[in-house]
A = this chain, B = another copy of it.
């Protein structure tokens, strides 16, 4: 018990998978991630919302889901909100997939 929350870690890890895979399930959210990536990792909420036909309020919620999953972070810049891609978080998925391709 040297490091404190040993048992907890795996619990919250499962939640993390849940959040990340859940976030990736929606096509609009996958598009957002790709768009931000191709815009060199940063994009304002307005620019992102402009990509979609639906109301920007809807996009706002998608952004919140992505941020809650740890896939995006934001920072206020003047009157805009700049969203930044958190690529490290995607490695969770990579890890999960890697299980299936390990040679025994």
Task: Give Cα A24 to B25, complex, Å.
Answer: 8
Ranked nearest first, the 10 interchain pairs of A and B with the lowest CB-CB distance are A25-B25, A21-B24, A21-B25, A22-B25, A37-B100, A87-B100, A90-B100, A94-B97, A18-B27, A93-B97
Contact count band on A? 20 to 34
Counting every copy of the chain, the complex holds 2
Say whether A99 faces chain B, with CB atoms less than 8 Å apart: yes
Secondary structure type dominating chain A contacts: helix
**A contact set with B: CB distance below 8 Å:** 14, 17-18, 21-22, 24-25, 27, 30, 33-34, 37, 85, 87, 90, 93-94, 96-97, 99-101
With contact pairs A21-B25, A25-B21 given, residues A37 and B90 touching in the complex (Cβ less than 8 Å): no
Which residues of B are found within 8 Å of A30, using beta-carbon distances? 17, 21, 96
